[in-house]
Amino acid sequence: MTPEWDLVVIGGGPGGMTAAQYGARANLKTLVIEEMAPGGAVLLISDMENYPGFPEPVNGYEFSDKMRGQTENFGAQFQSATATGLRKEGDIYTVETTDGEYTAYTVVLSTGAKHKHLGVPGEEEFSGRGVSYCATCDGPFFKNKKMLVVGGGDSACDEASYLANLTDRVVMIHRRDRFRAQKVLADRVKANPSIDVRFNHTLERIEGEGKVNKVVLKRTDTGETYEEEMDAVFVFIGAIPQTQLANDLAKDEGGYLITDQNMETSSTGLFVVGDVRSTPFRQVVVACGEGAVAAHVAAARIDDIKGEAYGAV
């Protein structure tokens, strides 16, 4: 059986699109399957300031749109669909989707991760009515109002800084006594007069009538709880890797898929890149590098299958 594609990329984030670019440039017939808009989590970044080659901050949507155009220019194709299953028979992978099945010699999983929820009373009830997981999406609705940011990592600090451009009443809480974000991001938050940073705090409850009106906070060092009026709650406490298509493969303690240095899993020809992969550092530039490596090795794997290899990987 000859598959329809050489390389199928599941997920159109930066890592996935880079894999598609390098695959297409290597003359692989390449397809990207994306259920939303290409770009993934980058679409939610208002100003990306640390990607090499962009001395001025670039909007995440603009960055993603240019990346998609570049990917298509190299010859890769995009298909809007949700991948629902993945199986392998011999050397051929079959990707099951809401738009039918696609076969390929190699597959790159770039399915990313989804935001974790706190699980506190009121969170689900007020989701979309004051509770949000995306500052750039929903922050403008609360301009000049009082907002709570929950979290202490890179995303929490990034989003708090963004919200501080919309109001001078941002309260940021973190359950520990220090941020776990990169120092430059943490220092920026602590120096911002519009952000009231409160360590050793947790969110216990969200209340309101039709929309968020107030929250109940708890001091973890003293056990004290208190109410505070609030117009919006933004939650940034980590992510859940989307590994459903490869649940039988090895994962780390956080549930992220483990690969070798070639981005390849224990299933030959199946690669993992981006936020779903076990890595010490999740950044756009890292995901792009992973995508390039995956596509390069995928091309060599296909040569092996076709009997055209001229050297070992």
Task: Delimit the domains of the chain by residue range.
Answer: 5-114+239-306, 117-235
Query: CATH number of 117-235: 3.40.50.1260, 3.50.50.60, 3.40.1190.20, 3.10.20.740?
Result: 3.50.50.60
Report the pLDDT value the prediction gives residue 310, as an integer from 0 to 100.
52
pLDDT tens series, the chain, 313 aa: 899 999 999 999 999 999 999 999 999 999 999 998 999 888 877 778 889 999 998 988 999 999 999 999 999 999 999 999 999 999 999 999 999 999 999 999 999 998 899 999 999 999 989 999 988 778 999 999 999 999 999 889 999 999 999 999 999 999 999 999 999 999 999 999 999 999 999 999 999 999 999 999 999 999 999 999 999 999 999 889 999 999 999 999 889 999 999 999 999 999 999 999 999 888 899 999 999 999 999 999 999 998 865 554 4
Instruction: Please state at what angle helix 154-163 crosses helix 183-190, rounded to 10 degrees.
Output: 30
- Write down the pTM of the prediction: 0.78
Which residue among 47, 65, 91, 138 is the active-site one? 138
Using a 10 angstrom Cβ sphere, with 0-12 exposed, 13-18 middle and 19 or more buried, the burial of residue 215 is: buried
CA 143/CA 31 separation, integer angstroms: 41
| CATH C-level class of 5-114+239-306 | alpha beta
Report the pLDDT value the prediction gives residue 312, as an integer from 0 to 100.
46
> Is residue 137 annotated as a catalytic residue, yes or no?
yes
| Residue 160 and residue 172 in contact, taking contact as beta carbons nearer than 8 Å | yes
Which residue among 47, 65, 134, 303 is the active-site one? 134
Please determine whether the domains at 5-114+239-306 and 117-235 fall in the same fold group of CATH.
Answer: yes
| Residue 45 and residue 287 in contact, taking contact as beta carbons nearer than 8 Å | no
Amino acid at 293: V
> Is residue 65 annotated as a catalytic residue, yes or no?
no
Q: Among the residues of the chain, which ranges form H helices?
A: 14-25, 60-73, 135-138, 154-163, 183-190, 284-306
Report the pLDDT value the prediction gives residue 128, as an integer from 0 to 100.
86
> Is residue 303 annotated as a catalytic residue, yes or no?
no
Report the pLDDT value the prediction gives residue 309, as an integer from 0 to 100.
55
